[in-house]
A and B are shown apart, each in its own frame.
Chain A
Amino acid sequence: MQVTLKIFRYDPEKDKKPHYDAFKMEAEPTDRVLDLLEKAKGYQDGTISFRRSCAHGVCGSDAMRINGMNRLACKTLVQDLGVNKITVEPILGLPILKDLIVDMEPFFDNYRAVTPYFINDEPAPAKERLQSPEDRERFDDTTKCILCGACTTSCPSFWANDQYLGPSAIVNAHRFIFDSRDKGAAERLAVLNDLFGVYRCHTIFNCTLACPREIQITQAIGEVKKAIATGKLD
């Protein structure tokens, strides 16, 4: 089938303002949008810039706006889009560096703010810190995050103000807050119980729709709000 790939272009060293370039090409319905981008870059215009790494939906590098929705280019098939005109734009709410590449630093600043790592100062047991399957299940959903940023950059509260920690940071806080082996919940909840913590979430569910890993993000944010209100982590 013949498809037209319309790509958002912006080179801050040359362009005064962004524009779109269209590339016509042959594609299979089972081709991924990433394949089309590679084809356009490889055969038509080598200056097209985008991030990609594993190309299998694991590294989270190629989150972009495809026909208006935040998706991973490597997980989106042409046939899933149902049209032969495909528009690819950078994710919203972060500064654009070039074409589809955005500066992820504000996103990772927010990520770091929730101390997204295991905290437990008690001496480690000889073998390992055991956990029951039920305790592990409690935070299973939020372990799936690949930090692609699709959720945070689909959130109007984050678009309005990047001081808002955003869904991704809260998901990664959730992953440790509800881990029975972790002891850092109080300090994480203190960060999230703030003007730019969980209270900027108004449950519009954009993040849940955008997540390529199908994490129930709004539910996770709700669980964090509940933990702040009740002090219970079960």
Chain B
Amino acid sequence: MRSRTVPQRGLNFEYLMWLFTRLSGLGMYILALVGVVSALVMGARTQMDMATLMRWTFMPNPSHVASSDIVNLDAWANAFWQIMGMLIVFFAGTHGLNGLRVVIEDYIGSTWLRPVLRGLIFLIWLFMIIVAVYVILAS
């Protein structure tokens, strides 16, 4: 069978978000796995309870470690974990709010309400990212 291809395909927002949903879903698994494995290596196995470990897994912020038996926070509070935290917030927040946008595209017809709700979702997304970045850098 000879190979057939389509040379030009438009890269539009809908396609990019469809792709992002799949990749960010996969990305969140990978980031969470890195978080949980690293935490176990860094001492969570004996010095942290399950709830704290889970909080760290889904949001690797040193404030979570403070409530555990771990004394030295150096390994838990550095630029690597700040970047990890921001990536998780970006992937999870964008993935989730894009899901909400998809529901709006599905169920709101071509009325004035659609651009308003789209705009609202964008503002919520922007606000959430800014607050998250501030909290991560400040902690």
Contact = CB atoms under 8 A, between A and B. Distances in A.
Interface stretch (B48-56, B80-88, B101-109, B127-135): B101-109
- A contact patch SS: helix
Interface stretch (B13-21, B31-39, B62-70): B13-21
A231 B109 contact: no
B7 A232 contact: no
B71 interface: no
Q: How large is the interface on B (under 10, 10 to 19, 20 to 34, 35 or more residues)?
A: 20 to 34
Given A189-B6, A227-B6, A231-B6, A160 B106 contact: yes
**Secondary structure of the B contact surface, majority rule:** loop
Contacts, number: 66
B1 interface: yes
B139 interface: no
A193 B12 contact: yes
Nearest to A185: B6
B46 interface: no
Contact of B1 (A135, A156, A160): A135
A228 interface: yes
11 contacts: A134-B1, A135-B1, A193-B10, A193-B12, A194-B12, A195-B14, A202-B106, A228-B9, A232-B4, A232-B5, A234-B4
In the A-B complex, the 9 residue pairs with the smallest Cβ-Cβ separation, listed nearest first, are A233-B4, A160-B107, A231-B6, A186-B6, A199-B14, A231-B5, A195-B14, A185-B6, A160-B106
